[in-house]
Amino acid sequence: MKRYRQVGIGRPRARLVAAWIGCAVMFICACDSKRDNAAANTGSGAGAAGPLRVFVSILPQADFVKRIAGSRVEVEVMVGPGQSHHTYEPTPRQVNRLAEAGAYFQIGLPFERAVCERIARIAPSIRLIDTTAGVSFREMTGCCATHDEYASDGAKQAATATGHTHAGRDPHIWLSPRRVTSQARNIRDALVRIDPAGTSEYDAGLTRFERELSELDGRVRDRLKSYAGRAFLVFHPAYGYFADEYGLEQVAVEEDGKEPSARRLVELVARARALGLKRVFVQPQFAVGGAKAVAEAIGAKIVALDPMTVDYVRDLWTLTERVAEGFEAQGDSPVAAAKD
């Protein structure tokens, strides 16, 4: 009779096999957890699994979403404090987290197109929300036209050759409370589609936010109405919507997305003196060598303005106060149109 020898597994080998099995189990559990997270965030919205996780492009949008959705939504921001959306590129970790989110709220910034194309490939179930639907855009004109994929072919070629270039529509729509109202309605509509159970909360949040925006708009108009037609000097031309909304004119130091040339500096100094400007407004996202040169030449004060508002109502009012204080510092200086 044949005897079959039982082949045993020695202790070292047994421990190795056990370790491999343990790793496999952990990997499977991790994959299941990731799928569960993605399903929870792309499913019917907030619930037992916790708040709906969504992404936005910039800080002001995070405030918009939280004012409308409250605790039903957890918001993550692509472009963090101190970063410029003009030069921003998402990190691999952000892309991975975005792929597991329930929605991505866009605001019309240039980098969003590439992000959305990538996300659509790796996470086709994510909801990509255009919050600019129904919002009118202004065109950037003169030496400082803006910077996006809607630019002309010539402007795109110039951008390729020189870097941060400006041509096309102005993306800074959040600096107009009236346009923010349109964006807020688009956000509410999208949240209701994603999470119908939260409709009453989203409706109430939108109503409160619309009231706050209307009150803010009225306060800003009252504060600035006596300065209609006046110009204010900024480094980066982010305030076109704000200026248009309240009858003002922005004059930009930046020249085609770059520090100004020597010739441009001479022109700016002459114009600033003619306008009697006493403030040069700068942003933390940009180097401001040119702005400092102009300020020194005309005896003006450098003042920080940050369009990346964290608390929209509070921060836009702060912006208003600083612009108004700049006009007050001019006293009875002549008012001139800031045209190229």
- The number of folded domains in the chain is 2
Domain around 281: 227-330
The listed range with the strongest mean pLDDT (17-31, 101-115, 165-179) is 101-115
The residue with greater pLDDT, 332 or 20, is: 332
Domain membership of residue 246 (yes or no) is yes
| Cα 239 from chain centroid (whole Å) | 14
Angle ∠(143,106,84) on CA atoms, nearest 5: 45
Give the residue among 56, 126, 57 at the shortest CA–CA distance from 88: 57
Same domain, yes or no, for 148 and 294? no
Same domain, yes or no, for 194 and 253? no
Domain membership of residue 39 (yes or no) is no
Confidence of residue 333 (pLDDT cuts 50, 70, 90): low
Residue where a domain stops, chosen among 180, 215, 250? 215
* Cα–Cα distance, 240 to 176 (Å, whole number): 9
Domain membership of residue 13 (yes or no) is no
Mean pLDDT of all residues in 39-51: 59
Same domain, yes or no, for 89 and 122? yes
Residue for token digits 């159970």? Answer: 197
CA distances from 115 to 59, 93, 119, 133, 292 (A): 17, 13, 6, 19, 35
Tens digit of pLDDT for each residue in 8-35?
Answer: 434 444 454 444 444 443 433 333 434 4
In one letter, which amino acid is 35? R
Domain membership of residue 8 (yes or no) is no
Sheet holding 231-234, edge to edge: 249-252, 231-234, 279-282, 301-304
Domain membership of residue 1 (yes or no) is no
Domain membership of residue 242 (yes or no) is yes
The residue with greater pLDDT, 34 or 187, is: 187
Same domain, yes or no, for 180 and 59? yes
Give the residue among 87, 85, 75 at the shortest CA–CA distance from 107: 85
